[in-house]
Structure 1
Amino acid sequence: MTSKRKKSDGTAAGGKKKEKREENAEISGIIQDADIKEKVKEAWHRRKPFSHGGLVLDCQPFPHCVLNNFIQNEGFLENLQKELLALNFHEKSNDLYKFKQSDDLKQRKGAHIPGLRTVIFDQFRHWLSDVLDTELEPVVDVSCAKYEYTDVLLCHDDELEGRRVAFIFYLVPPWEASDGGTLDLYSVDGQYHKDTLLYSVSLVSPITGWMAVCLASRGRSSRLWLFLENCQPKDVVKSLVPQWNTLIFFEVSPVSFHQVAEVISEDKCRLSMSGWFHGTPLERPPRYVEPAIPRNPHLPRDEELLLEWVNPVYLDMAYQAQMQEEFEESSEILLKNFLKEDKFKEVNEALKKTEIQWTRRGPPNKRNYERAELQALPPCVSTCWELLSSEAFFLLLSNFTGLKLHFLAPGSDDEEEEEEEQDCAAGSTRSLEAAAPEQQCSKRNERKSKEPSTPVCRGELRRWGTGDYTLIHDTDLDNMEFALDLLLYCGCENWQSDLGGFTSYIASGEDEELLTVSPEDNALGLVYRDKETLRFIKHVNHRSSQSLEDGPVRRHFYDFSFVYYE
């Protein structure tokens, strides 16, 4: 709950407590002009740009409108800013964002917040309903947000049941694009497709890739939305700089992908009120599901590769047994100084060479980082990759974790088979509800006749720099099954957690972290996760690009990221 500030205890001459009077806000004259409203409405539905005075409507990459000088009385705005800054703010941080937010302001008391709320909920809502030609509900979500140094809201489309129009009202000091905090709009990968069998096709949607198709049906026309591409964000094609007393709104649609760029000013606060008008949402296509990443069995490399590369401490069988006990207890372990020192130094230096080809991996509503092309790796880096993909390493991981990642490794099925064989030999059952001995023996023989599953893996060599991240998303099928994650870090000497770049594990539907794996040179992290455990890489923020007192500018770190499946 937001705690309420103490009101003035002043009293009138008669001894009665003085009520704090709500101050009215006066909306821009452009909003009150009926002729301008009709022109905006026509431009919106024709998807044409329009501007008049402080109003600017643009339809690329999706329809959005900027209203400068939204409130006419300047004194009201200055007092509103003070009132907002006095609110209680809560730290908000997860895979998608980091900023400070107030509680919902729908019922907030005060002299100025209710005044602006009345303008937005009443006058502006009715104007917007007329422009969009759709009914907007009288209850509006609205809260206040503060974005300060390194705060960010990454790429998303605002989709949530009932959201129809998003809005942001800025109360910021003089602001430049170089301060960060811009509202960035993304293009998408859709294309127009015309079905020649339909008698007419007219573009009436805001969105690249969507068309309204008019169908003649019993004398009436109906609208069918078609989309034949992935509908995924590509590039930032427009950035709107926050300005004092400016309101921006846009329609929440399948392609309204946007972000709040990281604030890189160390002394400015991006203060805004924002929220959503609710109404009948636009039609949406089925969610795009990415093709599964190929998985491969181990490479035929023997233990000589382990002996050449891996710290001998981790090859000791007694130590492996100890590690397995720890891993089975906690499902995670961090192995420091994993590679031999000379091998690690060689790989660490080679990763900085320009001969490696790095490809940016997206889309930005799911991830943003660089991945190495395996065909152009320096020899030592390529050999390290082979090590992590090798048959000998699969067996080593089995010894570390107790998972059956190699046919020589014992597994839980082996223990069950041994128990069943003992039961069959004794001709007995464990309980009254258990199956008959002959049925148990039949099941055991059936399992033996099946081909054992082949352990597989997939891997990437990734480079992380300022602005890189991964996000949790509900179509990430590859990360929704039992698996062993491996991370081997390079180039991250003295990396601090406040720079981002750490891997966070959370339970599905929860924000609380279960585990954090921070970048650490030559440290190998192993984490076994189930279907309900999700992971993301926290946004690498602007601090990572600053100079250090004891070293050069930090630009990148690297990791070998592998996932192994039994």
Structure 2
Amino acid sequence: MNCKRQQGDSENDEKRKKIKKREEIAELSPLIDNENVKRGVKEAWSQRAQYSHGALELNCHPFPHCIIKNFIQSDSFTENLKRELLDLNFHEKSNDLYKFKQSDDLKKRKEPHITGLRTALFGKFRSWLGDVLGVELEPTVDISCAKYQYTDVLLCHDDELEGRRVAFILYLVPPWESSDGGTLDLFSTESNFEPHCVVKSLVPTWNTLVLFEVSPISFHQVAEVLSEDKCRLSLSGWFHGPSVERPPRHMEASLARSPHLPRDETLLLEWLNPLYLDVSYQAQVQEEFEDSSEIQLKNFLKEEKFKELSEALPLTEVKWNKRGPPNRRCYEVASLESLPECVSACWELLRSEAFFLLLSNFTGLRLHYLSPSDEDENEEGQERGARGSSGDTPSASQSTPVCAGELRRWTHGAYTLLHDGDASRAEYALDLLLPLGCPEWQPEFGGFTSYVANEEDEELLTVYPEENSLALVYRDKETLKFVKHINHRSFTLPTGDPCLRTFYDFSFVYYE
């Protein structure tokens, strides 16, 4: 019996040894144990002042962020940690805001160095950080690993989510230069708490921890990675605690909407491919559109008109203004007063009464008082008589169709993002896109318009830029859209030589 007990004890000891070996101890920077440093960081953070001591630097512009170099003392620990991380399974993550590869949550991983770092971060370091902030941070573990490679990006956002108090990133990168991209860019903010522009860029450095307070002004981004042979590997997550009080979110004004311009069918005859003026063909278009709620009409403008537009848009007389803020969009919009004559004429075409009626014929939507409603179709003969000639006016009970539009310029770095307020303000609407200057545009460049279901990952439709192809898409209140970030592939030729590709589009939204 005694022999059996001794054998059992021996086996348990071996198991305990194996379990112990499954966690390597992560010795953090000795600065964490320095009480003078902790007091200095705490005082500076509370007063929004600067502080530095050795490998630690605190800066509060544009918002409080702290950098600790050589965060883990042991070089062998960080090398082994990197090896364990690279052995994980990574999932491609791509939507309006980002494109990169990410691991699953690491809170339950058993690898010895991952476990050791997790214990140190959410144990000793969490306690230090809570003392610095003067708040009780929760033991919640929120950590994952990300790989950013060529053209990967994380666009402007503030990280705010209930309970997130401090964000952190630990870099495990090869020697890195700002020309490699992948910097952590910090944005200044305007009086309405919207991001304005990048005022500081932090270049990733091996074994460096960056942390910052999550707040209404903590707007930041991971700039697009431009290196084709380097991997920006990092661990990141959040420490949780009481959220910083947030002011009411700014609600920006929508684009101005206008009823149609009083222009007759002469404009259509001048500008459009005659095929689309054929009544029987319009009926075919409407049938296809009603089946799928979208259609692309190729060679929409007359060839000579399209060529004239394409040659006019790059002229220096056209004034382009950057449109933001960067947490919502980044592209250029033309000043209407600066448009050459032919471009102004096309703008008028898309706003004309005749074009509103044409869109009604294409889609079956009531964008003109002469277009039939559902009741009209049920009593077609009687209603035709009641409407009379084209000189009739809409009845008081009918709403006036309106539109809003922009002439946009797209190039490397441009995008639009979904925003928290988009879903609550969504409406039934008809989107129109007419691209120009994109004969060699590739899907891998980005710049396509993606339609998605609200609060779902499901992509409903993708509209790619296609030369002289009019895209019409009807969306309901549960459908949102964004333009995918245009990446560095658009900036280079197959030979590797730089080439700043640019395309334009007329973007209109019509409302019944």
TM-score range for the pair, normalised by the shorter chain length = over 0.9
Is the CA contact 1:169–1:248 (under 8 Å) kept in the aligned structure 2? yes
Q: Counterparts of 2:109 and 2:62 in 1: how far apart (Å)? A: 35
Contact 1:289/1:476 (8 A) holds in 2: no
Flag the 1:250–1:315 CA change in 2: closer, same or farther, 3 A: same
Question: How far apart are the structure 2 equivalents of 1:254 and 1:338?
Answer: 45
> Which of 242, 253, 264 is residue 215 of structure 2 equivalent to?
253
Where do 1:321-332 residues align within 5 Å?
321-332=283-294
Equivalent residue number for residue 225 of structure 2: 263
Deviation, structure 1 residue 140: 2.1
Question: Which residue identity is paired with 2:179?
Answer: S
Question: Of 508, 513, 516, which aligns to 2:462?
Answer: 516
Matched-pair contact (CA < 8 Å) for 1:149–1:267? yes
Corresponding residue of 2:427: 481
Once the two structures are superposed, the pairs formed by residues 17-36 of structure 1 within 5 Å of their partners are: 21-36=22-37
Aligned CA distance change for structure 1 residues 530 and 345 (closer, same or farther; 3 Å): same
Structure 1 residues 417 and 130: CA distance shift in structure 2, 3 A = farther
- Is the contact made by 1:234 and 1:363 (CA closer than 8 Å) also made in structure 2? yes
2:336 aligns with: 374
1:323-362 mapped onto 2 (5 Å cutoff): 323-362=285-324
Partner of 1:184: 185
Whether 1:163 aligns to 2:164 is yes
SS at match of 2:209: strand
Q: Could you tell me which amino acid in structure 2 is paired with residue 31 of structure 1?
A: I
Is the CA contact 2:430–2:509 (under 8 Å) kept in the aligned structure 1?
Answer: yes
Query: 2:157 is aligned with what amino acid?
Result: H
Mapped partners of 2:474, 2:76: distance in 1:
58
Q: Which residue of 1 aligns with 2:391?
A: none
Q: Secondary structure at the match of 1:166?
A: strand
Aligned to 2:47: 46
Give the deviation of 1:34 after TM superposition. Answer: 1.0
Amino acid at match of 2:352: S
| Preserved contact between residue 188 and residue 199 of structure 2 (Cα < 8 Å) | yes
**CA spacing shift, 1:18–1:163, aligned 2, 3 Å:** closer
Secondary structure of 1:296 counterpart: coil
Aligned positions of 1:440-451 closer than 5 A? 450-451=396-397
- Distance in 1, Cα, partners of 2:240 & 2:229: 35
TM-score, normalised relative to structure 2: 0.92
Distance 1:18 1:477 in 2: 52
> Alpha carbons of 1:305 and 1:136: their partners in 2 closer, same or farther (altered >3 Å)?
same
Matches within 5 A, 1:197-208: none
1:513-532 C-alpha deviation (Å, 9 max, x unpaired):
10000001101000000011
Counterpart code for 2:458: E
Q: Encode CA deviations 1:201-224: one digit per residue, 9 max, x unaligned.
A: xxxxxxxxxxxxxxxxxxxxxxxx
Deviation at 1:305, TM superposition (A): 0.8
In structure 2, the partner of 1:113 is 114
What secondary structure sits across from 1:87 in the alignment? coil
Secondary structure of 2:109 counterpart: coil
1:147 matched residue in structure 2 = 148
Return the alpha-carbon distance in structure 1 between the equivalents of residues 29 and 158 of structure 2: 28
Q: Secondary structure at the match of 2:112?
A: coil
Partner SS state of residue 199, structure 2? strand
Tell me the residue number matched to 1:206: none
Q: How does 1:380-459 map to 2 (within 5 A)?
A: 380-415=342-377, 450-459=396-405
Greater helix fraction, Structure 1 or Structure 2: 2
1 CA distance for matches of 2:33 and 2:442?
53
Compute the TM-score of the two structures, normalised by the length of structure 1: 0.84
Deviation at 1:413, TM superposition (A): 4.1
Residue pair 1:232, 1:255 contacting (<8 A) in 2 also: yes
Cα distance in structure 1, aligned partners of 2:130 and 2:242 = 12
Distance 1:286 1:44 in 2: 25
How big is the shift at 1:316? 0.8
Change (3 A) 1:329 1:308: same
Question: Which residue of the partner structure matches residue 279 of structure 1?
Answer: 241
Contact 1:547 1:554 (8 Å CA) reproduced: no
Match of 1:472 among 402, 407, 418: 418
Instruction: Spell out, residue by residue over 1:323-360, the C-alpha distance to the aligned partner (whole angstroms, 9 max, x if none).
Output: 10000010000011100111101101111111100000
Equivalent in the alignment of 2:499? 553
Give the drift of 1:86: 0.6
Offset at 1:71? 0.4
Q: Which residue pairs with 2:69 in the alignment?
A: 68
